Amino acid sequence: MHREITMPVFDLTGKTAIVTGGTKGLGFGIAATYARFGANVVITARTASEVDAAAMHINEVYITESNKCLGVTADSGKQRDVDKVVSSSIEAFGKIDILVNNAGVSGKTAAILSDECSEENFDLVISTNLKGVFLLTKAVVKQMAKQGSGGKVINISSLGGLVGGKGLVAYGASKAGVISFTKTMANEFARYGVTVNAICPGYVITPLNEEVFSDEDIRKKMEARTALRRLGCIEEVAGPALAMASDCFGYMTGTYLLLDGGQTIGG
């Protein structure tokens, strides 16, 4: 006798999601997608004007009648800002169900032995890309554990955390660290019903790199490295991030999803 198979749907109605670095690029795409599918969304970034503008845009374009977007100016690498994000989210929406650790910087592209590959640059990248994940996840999962209803943590890593890219030692180290954090946190937080997974995008066109990829030679060179012979788009990361935040990925934890257009298979 076969039981009825019911499929989870991409519906985040009634959920509250925090998306760091949510004012532009992948972060904005994920936040807007979550809002469109019913979630209350809290976006964060370090520049107040960008936070206000992005939150206003999401509220005007993507929000349904039952949800809302809140912008919070914060640096996820600073504990006091992390505490503000959590308290603001609880004050506005009463709970936190989803955390997307997206905030990140690439730092300067420089060979390790060059003067530009400095201690200051290394510290900036590690603080934003790795320490921020640690601080915010710890604070949010404490709240999720208190709520007792589980939760989802999605860490945005990178293809650069899996392969060695020349001139990006700090970035690569930070993103590899995010993958390791993901595995450890998944192990520790399973007892609370919290899943922790990562997404590793490859070459994806965003407002931050459009100028670089507008150079036809550079673009063709990057496209040739992928099996699909093209670059990715924001929606192709936001879609999997939506699936991960829904019940569809409820049994997956402690792993990463590679979205690289087939670059690592030697296409």
| Residue 175 annotated among the catalytic residues of the structure | yes
**Cα separation values, 142 from 18, 55, 66, 128, Å:** 14, 26, 27, 21
Is 89 a known active-site residue? no
Q: Given the residues 15, 106, 108, 171, select the one marked as catalytic.
A: 171
Cα–Cα distance for residue pair 35/57, rounded to 1 Å:
11
Candidates 15, 108, 152, 175; catalytic one:
175
Contact 58, 35 (CB under 8 A): yes
The single residue of 76, 106, 157, 174 carrying the catalytic annotation is 157
CA dist 20 and 23 (Å) reads: 8
Collect all residues with Cβ–Cβ distance below 8 Å to 209 and sequence separation of at least 6: none
- Give the span between the Cα atoms of 201 and 27, in whole angstroms: 12
Q: Is 171 a catalytic residue?
A: yes
Burial class (CB in 10 A: 0-12, 13-18, 19+), 174: buried
Q: Are 159 and 202 in contact (CB under 8 A)?
A: yes
Q: Are 52 and 26 in contact (CB under 8 A)?
A: no
Active site residues: 157, 171, 175
